[in-house]
Structures are given as structure tokens and as C-alpha cells.
Amino acid sequence: MKPAIDIDLDEIMERYPGRPESLIFLMQDVQAAFSYISPEALTLVCDYTGVPMSQAYAVATFYQSFSLEPRGEHEIKVCLGTACHLKGSQRIVDELSRRLGVDAGQTTEDLKYTLETVNCLGACALAPVVVADEDYLANVTAKKLNKLLKELSQDIEERP
């Protein structure tokens, strides 16, 4: 379960001085704590650091590691780089999209999963590659995909 946003935002603000140089550190910590940067959090960070909202927004949209939309508990990234594409990774995206009920780049309504596509994860010899949270899955097949979804859903069910 994710922490209450007001408590943790205050705690995050206390970690750094209220100066423009703290912007990225604060945004990184907010992203890490909540899996996204809400409009309220971005406003608070701007007020605290004195950075204009337009500038903070530009930073948030420039770096892929920041998200302004809520993310799922689990993030599944499918590589669509050349090697993976040649080994059928588009079919993996289509299958995941069908089973999760979202397109690539979207998060399920229950906030359990975010499906993303990426271009080359630097592991082409293992194509097709899927990354679930931090775990790399090599030579992904329909069977491995089933196992992955089962494990992720069990993980969600077992949480307090």
C-alpha cells in the first residue's frame, strides 16, 4: 500500500534545502515514493524551491524517469528494438495489451500494471526481451508471459 501523500511529501521536502538546485533531487524522491509526480506534489516542489512551474514541468516531461500520471504497481516494458521486433516482440505487446486491457503507454484502471514499450534495452542477444519492474526476462515466449503475469498477480494479492 502506498503511503499517505501529505505526510511523505513533507518528509521529502525536509531532505533538501529550499533552493532551485534541489529541484531534480526532490522530483526524484517524489517519483520514487509515489511512482509519479502529482500536480499537488509538483506545485509543492515549485513553491519550496522557487522554481517556476513551467520549468519544473519541462524537466518532468523531458526525463523519461519522471511520470506525471499515476503508474501501476508493476511496470512491464517490452522491447521493440530491431532484434526484439524481429523475434516477435510486437506480438508480446499485443498479447499484454489484450490481457491487461490497456495500450502501450497506459496504466490499468486498478493501478496494478503499466505497459510500456522501449527501444533496445541493450540485451539484444536475449531477444525478445521484457522487463518486469527491474527483472529482465529473456527469450520471452507465450509460456513465460503467462508465468510472469501469474507471478505479478500473486505478488499483488499477497500484499497486506
* Binding residues for ligand FES (CB under 6 A): 79, 81-84, 120-124, 127, 129
- The helix/strand/coil state of 145 is helix
Helix 5-13 with 23-34: angle, nearest 10 deg: 150
* CB nearer to ligand FES: pick between 72 and 81: 81
User: How does strand 113-118 pair with strand 74-79?
Assistant: parallel
Place of cell 496494478: 112
Q: Which residue is nearest to ligand FES (CB)?
A: 81
* CB nearer to ligand FES: pick between 111 and 118: 118
Cα–Cα distance, 66 to 68 (Å, whole number): 7
Minimum CB–partner distance for residue 92 and ligand FES (Å): 11
* CB nearer to ligand FES: pick between 37 and 78: 78
Minimum CB–partner distance for residue 83 and ligand FES (Å): 4
Cα–Cα distance, 44 to 119 (Å, whole number): 33
Minimum CB–partner distance for residue 61 and ligand FES (Å): 25
Minimum CB–partner distance for residue 119 and ligand FES (Å): 7
* CB nearer to ligand FES: pick between 111 and 124: 124
Read off the C-alpha cell for 139. Answer: 527469450
Cα–Cα distance, 35 to 28 (Å, whole number): 10
